[in-house]
Structure 1
Amino acid sequence: MDSSNSTSANLHVAILSSPGMGHLIPVVLLSNRLATHHCVTVTVLRVTTTVSPPESNLLKIPLHPLVNILELPPADISHLVDSSAKIVTQLCLMVRVSLPSIRSAMTNRRPHALFVDLFSTEALPIAAEFNIPNYVYVPSNAWFTALLAYSPILHQQFSEEYVNQTDPIRIPGCKPVRPEDLVDPMLDQKDQQYDEYLKIGENIPSSDGILINSWVDLEPETLQAFAENRSVINILVYPVGPLVRESKPDHRSSELVQWLDRQPDESVVLASFGSGGVLPQKQMTELAWGLELSRQRFVWVVRRPTGGPVDNAFLRVTNGGEGEDSKPDYLPEGFLTRTKDVGFLVSNWAPQAEILSHPAVGGFVSHCGWNSTLESIASGVPLIAWPLYAEQRMNAALLAEEVGVALRPRALATSEVVGREEIEAMVKALMEGEEGGRLREKAKQLKKSGAESLKHGGPSYISMCDLLAKIASINNVIS
């Protein structure tokens, strides 16, 4: 054990996670990283909901022995909002009503530092009560972090709705953001979730630093802007990524894996829209026809369409398995028969990291959630960027225009139906075309770069060591 880890071995940190599998997964990945590579003891304080079972039961990620998940009492916000409340409003209110439980949990065992996730910044002052440092963990990229931290200044600059702007929204030193690519909470300033989002941006500077799930080679210009232009973020930023689920196969006998084993290398495209995303019926029909017309092999993780918002499943995610709903009636008539030799359908949930790492997989139609994005890059697989909600439009723009690992539909999938002809053309271009080859090569370069960044002595490893050394110094922890 090196000297930095000998000090870290005496540290205990608490990490607060808001509801939703998309939030719990990166928190657990960070926790396992701290425990496995820095010998830190971690208590995950998990805000739970009244509408779903404890998500830790669905996690499917082995926990390091030094990591413990403490499920807080379910947060009931039914008296505060109605069913029309947007997801950011719900998340922030759930954390707000859970503050007494968070404080109580920390009283039982005082940690050396408190980390909070993106929607839990209202808990930052609790750290001061215990005289410990606090940090915000943004399990996304640096560009999104820049927009979030700069949002209070943008709020003062713009008197009209952002969506009415014709020019890109400028952030000093960073790639401008087109109005149509802005995060969901910024699209309607009259909605409560805009106020909640703004509070997050206002709370961030009160922390002692920000951890982001990115690395230097992925976003060099934005990270340089953080260091050189304090008008965007005036506290230290620690890139600690890419933190992704390990892709070691745990069920080689499954029908899906056996099917993949029979396919040529890099011949299969995976289509999946995350643990919380749903497609409208009309779009699902067009996607089915596009996949069929492309004549490419595919694995499609299907979820029954609903008439609600695209993030409708976010807080009600289930861990469906292969074979469930095996004859979905929402797909075009005859689709299953016509594609039986080239396609494989999985209902609701699939072991995504394992699929992406399989040699047969050469492309990914993705909603561009950051967890999924990093899993794709970590497997060297390029994407078709199909954003649905949250910050996914920004992620898609980043991947297609700056990082260079993705194709993107001409129209926004959130506002228009992407037709079967365009889907067919994109899938063919990704899997067979020269441009797809270039994207695949860049993805493989970043796969190697990300792995090097996490190794002992790599930039993300050093960044984490610097952070832990600061925490140890503040707490007078010595080896």
Structure 2
Amino acid sequence: MQMNMQFPVGSLWRIQQPQVSEFEKKVTQTGATIVGLDMGGNTADDVDKTAKAKKKIIFLLLQELMSPPLERELTKDKPDAVLTDFATLAGCSVADKLDLPLLINLPGPISLLQAFVGMVDTSTAVNFLGLHIARQRLSTMRFIGWMNFNQMGQWGARVRAFIAKGAVVLVQTVWGLDQPTSLPPNVVVTGPVLPPAHDLRKKLAADHPELHNFLRQSEPAGVVYVTTGSLAKLHDWQVRVIYNGLKKARCRVVWSLKGELQQFLPVADDPDFYISKWTPQAELLQDDAVKAVITHCGWGGTLECMTAGKPIVAIPFFGDQPENAHLLVKAGVGELIGKIPRGDEQKPNPYKEGWMTEETVCLAVSKLLNNPSYKKATEKLMRASRASGGAEAAVQHIEWAARFGTKHLASEYLRHGTGSNPYNGVMVGILGLVACAGLLVYSQALRK
């Protein structure tokens, strides 16, 4: 089936030029083309400054900037369906305006959707005297939405409205890491959408021979892979703590470390460390020599680790990363690197000296390497990750949306509901206690 598809991607404009070229190459190989949108001369820095000045989440500003040029493009060449990222509200709003079938990609756990959209968490439901009672779990992400920090509550309400109208949400998660729960028919768990493991292993050997040789020389003990993402910059003391902690654990290491941070390494050319400013992560994780991963718990990387069966030492920084880290620990596939942020701090890297130490790094890594329960739990999730269909399932739902539309999946419950948040209950409880205390004081005063 041939389809005319549009894929609005709100974050592509922030990618550095070498990565843009690589992305364009991959897109061209699929037979698709990239069409740039006129952002009115606004750069990433411009939008960041405006967002901070207005105390407004960047996704809402991008909706304002992207919607007019995107509508012009979709009007000129009307697609059969629109697939957009959950953060790219312009794709949602234009698809809704032009009455086009809409699919939303969610590269995150179900708990993220529940937190911002206010969906009922049926995994907590209890049946009592014919009543079905479910509660919402307290979390930092729910608190952020409830307080509407930087208008994040408003963003969540907009996403909820599109889902209520029938938009199909493709959720890349793993049951077992995420708590199994009942979902509306238009919220579909596809599992990770990744290339076959065999293809990735062959690509590593062919395209990265030096790294491949380092891995072969590290067997059978293997290596620990360290990656902390591209957005948060490690403090100099963190570089030293991670290095010394791994030395204490007597590990061989592959470390994706920015070039300007490599100067903080205690030893520049340690033969037990393969240091590079960039590593082929998806390919590397599929290699049997990698025994554990220190990672910031971005959801894409988390899924890559789970599908490869690699336990995790979590060093999360912001946003959903701390909550993802707690999911990993709860599932028995990870350990925290030390004290971690809550996720609501206003800094990309809020860690303070003492939160993580050489000892906490060594202890966390040693647990993963020496206790087989972590590997066993991760392999269980690896098998579970394959049970939701992956890329094939995602493609099937995209084709169904293009052929049959999505309006039949509209939900009256989501349309008319206002969403729920456990902090509403907390406030009611506090007000109730205050009222009871006031009545008690008043009654004692009357007796006097």
Q: Where does residue 13 of structure 1 map in the other structure? A: 5
Q: Where does residue 273 of structure 2 map in the other structure? A: 343
Q: Where does residue 446 of structure 2 map in the other structure? A: none
Q: Where does residue 225 of structure 2 map in the other structure? A: 270
Q: Which moved further from structure 2: 78-87 or 278-287?
A: 78-87
Look up the equivalent residue of 2:190 and give its one-letter code. V
Pick one of 287, 291, 308 that aligns with 1:358. Answer: 287
- Please give the secondary structure, in 1, of the residue aligned with 2:49: coil
Q: Deviations over 1:145-197 (max 9, x none)?
A: 1112118x99xxxxxxxxxxxxxxxxx85872444xx3795497453556545
- Please give the secondary structure, in 1, of the residue aligned with 2:26: coil
For 1:390 and 1:409, the matched residues in 2 are separated by 17
For 1:356 and 1:378, the matched residues in 2 are separated by 9
Aligned residue pair count: 377
Q: Where does residue 374 of structure 2 map in the other structure? A: 439
Q: Is the 8 A contact 1:144 1:391 kept in 2?
A: yes
Aligned positions of 1:309-328 closer than 5 A: 328=262
Q: Where does residue 408 of structure 1 map in the other structure? A: 336
Deviation (angstroms), 1:218: 4.5
**2:216 paired with 1:261:** yes
Percent identity among equivalent residues?
Answer: 18
TM-score, normalized by length of structure 2?
Answer: 0.73
For 2:46 and 2:376, the matched residues in 1 are separated by 52
Q: Higher helix share goes to which structure?
A: 2
Deviation (angstroms), 1:90: 2.8
Look up the equivalent residue of 2:403 and give its one-letter code. A
Q: Where does residue 307 of structure 1 map in the other structure? A: none
Q: Where does residue 36 of structure 2 map in the other structure? A: 71
TM-score, normalized by length of structure 1?
Answer: 0.69
**2:241 paired with 1:286:** yes
Deviation (angstroms), 1:254: 3.3
Q: Where does residue 25 of structure 1 map in the other structure? A: none
Pick one of 310, 325, 342 that aligns with 1:396. Answer: 325
Deviation (angstroms), 1:216: 4.2
**2:189 paired with 1:239:** yes
Relative distance call for 1:263 and 1:79 in structure 2 (3 A) is closer
Q: Is the 8 A contact 1:213 1:240 kept in 2?
A: yes
Deviation (angstroms), 1:88: 7.5
Q: Where does residue 404 of structure 2 map in the other structure? A: 473
Q: Where does residue 17 of structure 2 map in the other structure? A: 53
Q: Deviations over 1:317-366 (max 9, x none)?
A: xxxxxxx66x932223xx235xx23211112x211111111111000001
For 1:236 and 1:400, the matched residues in 2 are separated by 29
Relative distance call for 1:188 and 1:345 in structure 2 (3 A) is farther
**2:393 paired with 1:449:** no
For 1:176 and 1:203, the matched residues in 2 are separated by 24
Q: Is the 8 A contact 2:309 2:375 kept in 1?
A: yes
Relative distance call for 1:258 and 1:427 in structure 2 (3 A) is same
**2:110 paired with 1:146:** no
Structure 1 unaligned spans of 5+: 1-8, 21-47, 155-171, 228-234, 304-323
Pick one of 93, 97, 112 that aligns with 2:80. Answer: 112
- Please give the secondary structure, in 2, of the residue aligned with 1:111: coil
- Please give the secondary structure, in 2, of the residue aligned with 1:387: coil
Q: Where does residue 329 of structure 1 map in the other structure? A: 263
**2:52 paired with 1:85:** yes
Q: Where does residue 176 of structure 1 map in the other structure? A: 137
For 1:461 and 1:81, the matched residues in 2 are separated by 36
Q: Is the 8 A contact 2:81 2:102 kept in 1?
A: yes
Deviation (angstroms), 1:84: 7.4
Q: Is the 8 A contact 1:122 1:203 kept in 2?
A: no
Q: Which moved further from structure 2: 108-117 or 371-380?
A: 108-117
Relative distance call for 1:213 and 1:93 in structure 2 (3 A) is same
Q: Is the 8 A contact 1:266 1:361 kept in 2?
A: no
- Please give the secondary structure, in 1, of the residue aligned with 2:293: strand
For 1:462 and 1:17, the matched residues in 2 are separated by 21
**2:171 paired with 1:212:** yes
Q: Is the 8 A contact 1:265 1:361 kept in 2?
A: no
- Please give the secondary structure, in 2, of the residue aligned with 1:242: coil
Look up the equivalent residue of 1:345 and give its one-letter code. I
CA RMSD in angstroms comes to 3.4
**2:62 paired with 1:62:** no
Relative distance call for 1:361 and 1:80 in structure 2 (3 A) is closer
Q: Which moved further from structure 2: 409-418 or 375-384?
A: 409-418
Q: Deviations over 1:222-245 (max 9, x none)?
A: 3x2x25xxxxxxx62011121125
Deviation (angstroms), 1:299: 1.0
Deviation (angstroms), 1:278: 1.7
Q: Where does residue 443 of structure 2 map in the other structure? A: none
Relative distance call for 1:90 and 1:245 in structure 2 (3 A) is farther
For 2:26 and 2:394, the matched residues in 1 are separated by 25
